[in-house]
Amino acid sequence: MSSAFQLHGVTCQFGDLVAVDEVSLSVKKGERVAFIGPSGSGKTTLIRLLNTMLVPDSGELSALGEPVADLGVASLRDLRVRIATMPQHLGLVENLTAIQNVVLGRGGSRSTIRSIRDLLFPSSRDAQEIHKLLDRVGIEDKLYTAISKLSGGQKQRVAIARALFQNPEVLLADEPVSAVDPARARDTVKLLTGLSEELGFTLCVSLHHLELAKEFFPRLIGLRDGRIVFDGSPESLNETELDALYQLSAEEMMTDA
């Protein structure tokens, strides 16, 4: 099976701060992977490297077989269309309707003029497809509702539909279930993993809910201070490794005190 992602010694810094530190990993096409780890451990930065919005300061990164550093603007744009991202705060436009937000999902592959036209007057073909997608994610009755009038769980579903409208080969979801109750969070994660299984796209998710990660993902990657400290199945994650992943360091305890 070919790779969705291959990273060799990838480092990404913001000034002096090393957010992702010499990370090497390989994700196969069709895999479902959860990135876990404390706040600030580098999960979002890693996801932004995978979707090519950030460029490594050193190391090599290939996405869907393409060495990202070698790609020109046009090839990069083509690659980004194949990788959908649900950003940490969903990135929905609150005063637009669900259908308009979903239409924006295909913006990357369409000209600006076409995107604006689609936004104002979605074609009947797009509308039909979006209707089906919203049906698939369980909110078909919200097609013409403004995002600002939806619950947290419903917004997550619009964000999933928007990502799927891109027909992605990979879906990267950065903390897709924050700010909802545990039952809604479980439903959304179940929906995402089910869709990945059904449609065959690779799914990489960052999750604070360790229990959900363990229940729905066959592979967990634990990050701490930008480094991988664990990479394996939920069954193989033991207490010592969990402690190493989430325990506050002496320095952090001093800061919290």
Ligand X SMILES: Nc1ncnc2c1ncn2[C@@H]1O[C@H](COP(=O)(O)OP(=O)(O)OP(=O)(O)O)[C@@H](O)[C@H]1O
Site for ligand X contains 209 (CB under 6 A) = no
Q: One-letter amino acid identity for 18?
A: V
Site for ligand X contains 41 (CB under 6 A) = yes
Among 38-46, 125-133, 197-205, 223-231, the segment contacting Mg ion (CB under 5 A): 38-46
How far apart are the two ends of the chain, measured CA to CA in Å?
49
E-strand ranges in the chain read 3-14, 17-28, 32-36, 58-63, 66-67, 83-86, 170-174, 202-206, 219-224, 227-232
Q: Using CB distances below 5 to 8 A depending on partner kind, what does residue 17 bind out of ligand X, Mg ion, none? A: ligand X
Q: At what angle do helices 124-136 and 152-165 cross, to 10 degrees?
A: 130
Single residue of 44, 51, 52, 193 touching ligand X by CB under 6 A: 44
Which of positions 3-32 make contact with ligand X (CB under 6 A)?
14, 17, 19
Dig out the tokens for 161 from the structure.
Answer: 């539909």
Q: Using CB distances below 5 to 8 A depending on partner kind, what does residue 11 bind out of Mg ion, ligand X, none? A: none
Site for ligand X contains 45 (CB under 6 A) = yes
Q: Distance (Å, rounded) from C-alpha 23 to C-alpha 257?
A: 31
Residue 12's DSSP bridge partners are 20
Least Å distance between CB 44 and Mg ion? 3
Site for ligand X contains 43 (CB under 6 A) = yes
Site for ligand X contains 39 (CB under 6 A) = yes
Using alpha carbons, list the distances in angstroms from residue 111 to 67, 75, 114, 118, 121. Answer: 25, 16, 5, 10, 15
Among 42-50, 67-75, 99-107, 179-187, the segment contacting ligand X (CB under 6 A): 42-50
Which of positions 220-249 make contact with ligand X (CB under 6 A)?
none
Among 35-43, 91-99, 130-138, 240-248, the segment contacting ligand X (CB under 6 A): 35-43
Q: Distance (Å, rounded) from C-alpha 210 to C-alpha 214?
A: 6
Using alpha carbons, list the distances in angstroms from residue 133 to 137, 156, 199. Answer: 6, 13, 12
Q: How many residues bind Mg ion (CB under 5 A)?
A: 2
Positions touching ligand X (CB under 6 A) are 14, 17, 19, 37, 39-45, 88, 175
Positions touching Mg ion (CB under 5 A) are 43-44
